[in-house]
């Protein structure tokens, strides 16, 4: 399969940094990705998703802050989806801007993943809000 990448409009402050943060509980993991997700950064996402696939029934992958994603990163997401499902869990993706949907459509896998527009409320996911003392 040829390499396909779709870039969102650049930010005014220049090139965005990449980050991948996992939060959550034993039953729900939330993985938030920001910046540019490509062949150079996808291994960090892959490690995070593999660790998240061990226990949680639900892994919520939040891609709303992505500036860029390439087809290699989509391959990592598909592999994680298979791994999580084989462990009895579910991967749900919070859509990024339209460029992610377009990439999934171009590759022909837009119907294979669970996609939502907004994440459910934290309490609906079983994640407790921090209450000030």
Q: Tens of pLDDT along 13-32?
A: 444 589 999 998 778 899 99
pTM above 0.85, yes or no: no
Instruction: In whole angstroms, give the CA distance from residue 47 to residue 68.
Output: 19
Q: Does residue 126 form part of some domain?
A: no
Q: On the CB side of 80, how many CA atoms lie within 13 Å of its CA? A: 29
What CATH number is associated with residue 62? 3.30.750.24
Q: Which of 84, 11, 13, 16 is nearest to 46 (CA)?
A: 84
Confidence of residue 122 (pLDDT cuts 50, 70, 90): low
Confidence of residue 127 (pLDDT cuts 50, 70, 90): very low
Q: Does residue 53 form part of some domain?
A: yes
Q: Across-strand partners of 35?
A: 66
Q: Does residue 130 form part of some domain?
A: no
- Please compute the mean of the pLDDT values over residues 50-66 and round it to a whole number: 86
Beta-carbon count within 10 A of 41 CB: 22
Give percent of the chain above pLDDT 90: 42
Q: Which domain holds residue 107?
A: 27-117
Give percent of the chain above pLDDT 70: 78
Q: Does residue 80 form part of some domain?
A: yes
Contacts of 73 (CB under 8 A, 6+ apart): 37, 38, 39, 41, 42, 45
Q: How many domains is the chain partitioned into structurally? A: 1
């Amino acid at each position: 399969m040829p390499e396909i990448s779709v870039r969102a409009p650049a930010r005014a402050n220049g090139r965005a940094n990449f980050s991948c943060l996992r939060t959550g509980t034993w039953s729900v993991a939330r993985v938030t990705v920001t910046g540019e997700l490509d062949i150079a950064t996808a291994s960090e996402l892959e490690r995070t998703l593999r660790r998240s696939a061990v226990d949680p029934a639900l892994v919520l992958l939040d891609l709303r802050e992505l500036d860029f994603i390439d087809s290699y990163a989509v391959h990592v997401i598909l592999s994680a989806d298979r791994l999580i499902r084989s462990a009895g869990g579910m991967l749900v993706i919070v859509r990024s801007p339209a460029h992610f949907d377009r990439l999934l459509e171009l590759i022909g896998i837009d119907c294979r993943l669970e996609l939502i527009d907004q994440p459910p409320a934290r309490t609906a996911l079983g994640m407790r809000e921090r209450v000030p003392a």
